[in-house]
Amino acid sequence: MAIDFSFPEEIEHLRVKVREFMEQVVRPAEEEIDANEDDRSVLVKQVIAMRKAAHEQGLWLPHMPTEWGGMGLGHVAMASVSAEAAKTRFGPFALNAQAPDEGNMHTLLHWATDAQKQKYLKPLCEGRARSCFAMTEPDVAGSDPTLIQTHAVEMDDHWLINGHKWFISGANGAQFAILIARTEDDPEIPQAANSAFIVDIPSEGWTVERDIQTMSGGHNHCEIRITDLKVPKENMLGGPGQGHLLGQARLGPARLAHCMRWIGQAETALNLTIDRAMKRFAHGSMLAEKQGIQWMIADSTMELYQSKLMVLHAAYKIDNGHDFKSEVSMAKHFVANALNRIIDRAIQVHGALGYSTDTPLAQMATQARWARFADGADEVHQWRIAMRSIEAYSKTGSVSGAAGDLPL
């Protein structure tokens, strides 16, 4: 039998090491940051200390190859690291494996020229720079990148770009952006209209108009006005018309990386649910002894288990060079929804306490809400999943190939 769900010893060792790092280094640093939330110098000092400790303990840049200073982990191994790291707020950042930089590093590794890698990827890997990814626009549906209006016109020695973007995570403080803009007026297929560019920040013509206030506050998701922005020709990333391809290649593994972090969050919420249920007494017994509460715990436990299996299988497919589009799509949809349900049940079991900001649940709930539409809305994933199922059935008489292509 080739199926073996145990991790190799070195990965299991690494998982435990990451867990201990989060408990011993990141959690105390977070407590210090929270106790001094008005003093930014404490935040800066603690972030530097966490990152220095990650370097010293050999936990820096887990997702990148060793020649770029990383740990060279595959996606299955990354699942265990990311799920542990995401049990804390600053964990992924401490390891330099945070969104959107993680996805941008993969993108640059695969699409950038050697010169672009030296200029943009190297400082990102070394933790000396931060980046953002600018695709979504306020005036057209982000779910359909063929509608992108930001356009780039080729001039003698540069591209001239005009447009409007929003919800660009990490734009404030980023040293560069990967920007998607329309370059082709008459593409062979609608998906080949866009190209990608690397934009130095600051640049004349790139203006952060505001940090958009969301239901969970301001988290550096910015609105950007792009006016007569000049981008040197050598800063095109990939070829003309390859923006969509690059976006898709980036989003596949990046979606799964989100799922890995969501698993960490979901497990935290379920742990809190059980902890509360074991301590709260009502109507003659502890909450944990009541069947209605046990059903919630059981549902959350099963959904966490399903989430882990789906993520591990999709990661296995990426690591082994198989087509992973369906599995990542199904995992992204399932884990995003499971996360929201698991956090919601946790809030229910906590009662008023769960609605307060005395536990992390309220913050987790508002953060989790975007998981259902960002990086591919639920309905778009469902549409794609259904199309693949119909195609598989039409071609082979069975949906099996689209349902994970498992030997069952």
Ligand X SMILES: Cc1cc2nc3c(=O)[nH]c(=O)nc-3n(C[C@H](O)[C@H](O)[C@H](O)COP(=O)(O)OP(=O)(O)OC[C@H]3O[C@@H](n4cnc5c(N)ncnc54)[C@H](O)[C@@H]3O)c2cc1C
Contact positions vs ligand X (CB under 6 A): 100, 132-136, 141-143, 167-169, 221, 370, 373-375, 377, 379-380, 383
Q: How far is the CB of 137 from ligand X (least distance, A)?
A: 7
For ligand X, give the closer residue by CB, 169 or 307: 169
For ligand X, give the closer residue by CB, 62 or 163: 163
For ligand X, give the closer residue by CB, 42 or 380: 380
Q: How far is the CB of 386 from ligand X (least distance, A)?
A: 11
For ligand X, give the closer residue by CB, 77 or 178: 178
Q: How far is the CB of 116 from ligand X (least distance, A)?
A: 20
For ligand X, give the closer residue by CB, 181 or 331: 181
Taking CB atoms, the residue at the shortest distance from ligand X is 142
Q: How far is the CB of 194 from ligand X (least distance, A)?
A: 12
**SS3 per-residue string spanning 122-185:** HHHHCCCCCEEEECCCCCCCCCCHHHCCCEEEECCCEEEEEEEEEEEECCCCCCEEEEEEECCC
Residues 238, 239, 241: CA angle, nearest 5 degrees: 115
For ligand X, give the closer residue by CB, 15 or 369: 369
Q: Is 125 exposed, middle or buried (0-12, 13-18, 19+ CB in 10 A)?
A: buried
Q: How far is the CB of 86 from ligand X (least distance, A)?
A: 15
Nearest residue to 372 via CA among 408, 344, 405: 344
For ligand X, give the closer residue by CB, 96 or 104: 104
For ligand X, give the closer residue by CB, 46 or 195: 195
Q: How far is the CB of 176 from ligand X (least distance, A)?
A: 13
Strand partners, 177: 132, 199
Q: How far is the CB of 165 from ligand X (least distance, A)?
A: 7
For ligand X, give the closer residue by CB, 100 or 308: 100
Q: How far is the CB of 390 from ligand X (least distance, A)?
A: 16
| Distance in angstroms (rounded) separating the CA atoms of residues 271 and 338 | 15
